[in-house]
């Protein structure tokens, strides 16, 4: 039976190279079979080494008389190098524990002390690279543009699969934006939040919410009764409140809890 040894590395090529160094033969002379191609994971989660089973080559001994059965590897015995290799570090800019904590609590982890210095081109490029890796990990392809605005670092993704990237009512886009902020704030002292958009969805959504608020406010005044909008996220409720803030004919407040919280539009009490 041919003797085999298992080698582990971040990818198959590196595992073969380790075997090549171990046995002192060229990598193209290594005979092997792949047990596991490994995985780079996503955000540091699910990282897994590649595993290959390498056939031990017949190497000539410099001094056959000194070679004993104890020096030889028993046929068919598979020796794992897994314990000798340090665990792979995640390719993202924060570790698995940090990310799990962020996902479980829903909070952006505290990063280094925030400064008032202008955001550098290097930081913008780092954000672009991070956003690109997120989009690629989701199986999408597209162009990622990053630029600084007066109150945010804007990330815009142009993709043929924009509808899937955005999700229902922007839920996928919001989740990806939250993860992007969690990751970036771990590494860089940003003084602005990152906003993620695709194909101008954010602006279209703002305009749609403002239109809905305007129509609902007119209905509340016309029928002289409170009118409820559908449940919304806090960011969308804020858009409605700010839009109707200057309308003296109505007032707004929120009621409900969790994902059922909504805006209520009431006609002003001094209306006839």
Most confident of 7-21, 41-55, 228-242: 228-242
Q: What is the pLDDT of residue 228?
A: 94
240 and 175 belong to one structural domain: no
Q: What is the pTM of this model?
A: 0.51
Q: Which of 104-108, 150-154, 221-225, 229-233 has the lowest mean pLDDT?
A: 104-108
pLDDT of the residue at 189: 62
Residue where one domain finishes, among candidates 163, 180, 199: 199
Is the pLDDT score of 89 beyond 50? Answer: no
The length of the chain is: 272
> How large is the average pLDDT for residues 203-215?
93
Final residue of a structural domain among 160, 184, 199 = 199
- Report the pLDDT averaged over residues 197-206: 90
Q: Is residue 111 part of a domain?
A: yes
Whichever domain contains 116, its CATH number is 3.30.300.20
183 occurs within a structural domain: yes
- pLDDT above 70 covers a percentage of the chain that reads 71
Domain that holds residue 48: 4-71
3-state SS string for the chain = CCCEEEEEECCHHHHHHHHHHHHCCCHHHCCEEEEECCECCECCECCECEEEEEECCCCCCCCHHHCCHHHCCCCCCCCECCCCCCCCCCCCCCCHHHHHHHHHHCCCCCCCCCCCCCCCHHHHHHHHHHHHHHHHHCCCCEEEEEEECCCEEEEEEEECCHHHHHCHHHHHHHHHHHHHHHHHHHHCCCCCEEEEEECCHHHHHHHHHHHHHHHHHHHHHHHCCCEECCCCCHHHHHHHHHHHCCCCCEEEEEECCHHHCEEEEEECCCCC
Tell whether 82 is covered by a domain. Answer: no
Confidence of residue 23 (pLDDT cuts 50, 70, 90): confident
Residue 125: pLDDT over 60: yes
The Cα 95–Cα 41 span in angstroms is 12
Q: Is residue 120 located within the same domain as residue 156?
A: yes
Note whether residue 86 is domain-resident. no
Final residue of a structural domain among 199, 216, 242: 199
Give me the number of domains the chain comprises: 3
**pLDDT confidence tier of residue 73, bands split at 50, 70 and 90:** very low
User: Which has the closest alpha carbon to 155: 193, 103, 212?
Assistant: 193
Please say if the pLDDT value at position 109 is more than 80: no
- Among 109-113, 190-194, 223-227, the minimum mean pLDDT is found in 109-113
Report the pLDDT value the prediction gives residue 271, as an integer from 0 to 100. Answer: 57
Is residue 254 one of the residues assigned to a domain? yes
* Whether residue 212 is found in the same domain as residue 190: no
Provide the mean pLDDT of the chain: 75
What pLDDT score does 49 carry? 76
Name which residue leads in pLDDT, 181 or 43: 181
Q: Within this chain, do residues 140 and 194 fall inside the same structural domain, yes or no?
A: yes
For the stretch 126-153, pLDDT in tens is: 889 989 988 888 888 889 999 988 888 9
């Amino acid at each position: 039976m041919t003797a085999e040894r298992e080698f582990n590395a971040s990818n198959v090529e590196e595992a073969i190279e380790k075997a090549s160094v171990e046995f002192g033969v060229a990598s193209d002379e290594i005979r092997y079979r792949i047990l596991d191609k490994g995985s780079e994971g996503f955000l540091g989660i699910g990282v897994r080494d590649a595993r290959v089973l390498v056939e031990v080559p017949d190497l000539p001994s410099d001094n056959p008389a000194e070679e004993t059965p104890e020096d030889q590897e028993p046929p068919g015995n598979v020796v794992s190098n897994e314990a000798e290799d340090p665990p792979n570090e995640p390719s993202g800019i924060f570790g698995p524990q940090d990310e799990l904590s962020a996902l479980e609590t829903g909070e952006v982890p505290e990063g280094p002390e925030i400064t008032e210095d202008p955001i550098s081109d290097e930081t913008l490029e780092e954000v672009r690279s991070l956003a690109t890796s997120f989009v690629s990990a989701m199986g999408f392809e597209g162009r990622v543009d990053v630029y600084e605005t007066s109150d945010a670092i804007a990330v815009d993704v142009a993709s043929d699969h924009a509808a899937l990237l955005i999700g229902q009512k922007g839920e996928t886009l919001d989740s990806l934006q939250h993860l992007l902020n969690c990751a970036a704030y771990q590494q860089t002292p940003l003084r602005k939040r990152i906003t993620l958009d695709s194909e101008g969805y954010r602006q279209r959504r703002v305009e749609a919410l403002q239109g809905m608020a305007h129509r609902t406010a007119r209905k509340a005044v016309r029928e002289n009764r409170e009118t409820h909008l559908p449940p919304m996220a806090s960011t969308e409720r804020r858009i409605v409140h700010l839009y109707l803030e200057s309308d003296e004919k109505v007032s707004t407040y929120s009621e409900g809890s969790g994902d059922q919280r909504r805006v209520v539009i009431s006609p002003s009490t001094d209306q006839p």
